[in-house]
Amino acid sequence: MTEGHIFIQGVISPWQDKAAEEWGEVNIKQVTQQIQNNAEAEKLIVHIHSPGGDVDEGFGIHDILVASGKVIETRIEGLCASIATVIALAGSIRMITENSEFMIHNPWGGSMGDADDLQKSADQMKVIENKIIDFYAAKTGKSKDDLDKWMKDETWLTSAQALDLGFVTEIITTMKAVAHFKVKNSNKTIVMNPKELDTAIESKFNKFFDRIKALIGAKGAVNVTVTTGDGTVLDFGSQAATPEEIAVGMTATIEGGDAPDGDYVMPDGGIWVFVKGELTEMKEAPAEDVEALKKKITDLEAELEAEKAANLAVVDEVQKEIVAMKKQIKSDIKSFDPKSLEREGGGAENRAAGMKPKIGM
């Protein structure tokens, strides 16, 4: 899965000017541009270090991330407070480094005007407060009463507490000394982070064990294979005892150990669909084509038998010619007269030099 990276590092601000970023502020416009810059990515990793900021801007950033249609993984790397926590909850995968902090509290703000104006502001503040409580409850599964209390108290959570309460799904353990590893690969040196190194090692071990399994299978169980309409051999190993027992969910390889991927037309007209080696669907041939395909198979089998018979006849004829040729050569050897060399000239010289004619087969 291809990955892109989004950075939300600063105060969440409604200020949309280009200079906002220079002042350490993050807005919807910046995040939208970052998403567009990662248009080809299937997954977005959102790095968060923010004390919070404007409520509407925070919910807006949350919504455009979710609406991007990509897999969203949020990573809290330092501080995630106030409205930044709403952005963090946009991820289906939500990670936090072990030394980061997570803080939730009631929204606050200022207002001016007469008593009615201040009351309207207070009422609106309560609406926003309930909106955030409902949002947290839906994301974490915690009760609204508990969330209401924690927000009123301005609750600061460690990474472990944030995980326990459902705000995050995983804690990232910080590397204490080495951040990257250099791995020699032929004539190149590849730099890997710990996660990439673990993946590479696991891949190597899996390939090693696959070879061991293959060797064991070669000594014991008989691999079940099926040939497609174009002659491709699909090897299902020992997952099935017979071709008839092959079912969706089994995996196969083709010549060279490659994994089949895509649609494969079978001799009976059916289509087997593979995704990275796994059989995901077995489509039957259309009913109207079955009889025609059966006839085609019968005709092809007849042609194959005729071809075999013709080839056998040619081989038989060649063998007869070889036998006849051998008989002729043996006859010629038996009737050969060494004295004839002397009669034809040069025999005396050969005998004087101790040479004998060499004949062999």
51: domain CATH number? 3.90.226.10
pLDDT digits (tens, 9 = 90+) for 64-101: 999 999 999 999 999 999 999 999 999 999 999 999 99
pLDDT score of 200 more than 90: no
The number of folded domains in the chain is 4
Residue scoring higher pLDDT (346 or 266): 266
Q: Give the domain extent around 249.
A: 225-283
Among the ranges given (102-106, 207-211, 276-280, 315-319), the one the predictor scored with the smallest mean pLDDT: 207-211
Mean pLDDT computed over every residue of the chain: 80
pLDDT score of 114 more than 90: no
pLDDT score of 54 more than 60: yes
pLDDT of residue 243: 87
pLDDT of residue 352: 32
- Asked if 10 and 63 sit in the same domain, the reply is yes
Kindly state the average pLDDT of the residues 329-340.
54
- Asked if 48 and 77 sit in the same domain, the reply is yes
Tokens of 282: 């077995």
Residue 205 lies in a domain: yes
Among the ranges given (198-212, 239-253, 255-269), the one the predictor scored with the smallest mean pLDDT: 198-212
Residue 126 lies in a domain: no
Give the separation between CA 333 and CA 316, rounded to whole angstroms.
Answer: 26
- Asked if 160 and 270 sit in the same domain, the reply is no
Give the separation between CA 339 and CA 357, rounded to whole angstroms.
Answer: 11
Percent of the chain exceeding pLDDT 90 equals 47
pTM above 0.75, yes or no: no
pLDDT digits (tens, 9 = 90+) for 119-178: 888 888 899 999 999 999 999 999 999 999 999 999 999 999 999 999 999 999 875 544
pLDDT of residue 348: 37
pLDDT of residue 28: 95
Nearest alpha carbon to residue 95 among 134, 48, 141: 48
Instruction: Write down how long the chain is.
Output: 361
- Asked if 241 and 269 sit in the same domain, the reply is yes
pLDDT digits (tens, 9 = 90+) for 292-326: 667 777 777 787 787 777 767 766 676 676 666 66
Residue 50 neighbours by CB distance under 10 Å: 25
pLDDT of residue 17: 85
- Asked if 23 and 166 sit in the same domain, the reply is yes
pLDDT of residue 101: 96
Residue 118 lies in a domain: no
- Asked if 59 and 158 sit in the same domain, the reply is yes
- Asked if 23 and 101 sit in the same domain, the reply is yes
- Asked if 214 and 229 sit in the same domain, the reply is no
Residue 136 lies in a domain: no
Nearest alpha carbon to residue 80 among 121, 106, 52, 99: 52
pLDDT of residue 356: 35
Residues 246 and 224: beta-carbon distance below 8 Å = yes
Helix (H) or strand (E) holding 356: none
- Asked if 203 and 320 sit in the same domain, the reply is no
- Asked if 83 and 188 sit in the same domain, the reply is no
pLDDT score of 60 more than 70: yes
Residue 352 lies in a domain: no
- Give Cα 319 distance to the centre of its chain: 55
Residue 132 lies in a domain: no
Tokens of 213: 């399994």
Among the ranges given (114-128, 166-180, 259-273, 340-354), the one the predictor scored with the smallest mean pLDDT: 340-354
Residue 142 lies in a domain: no
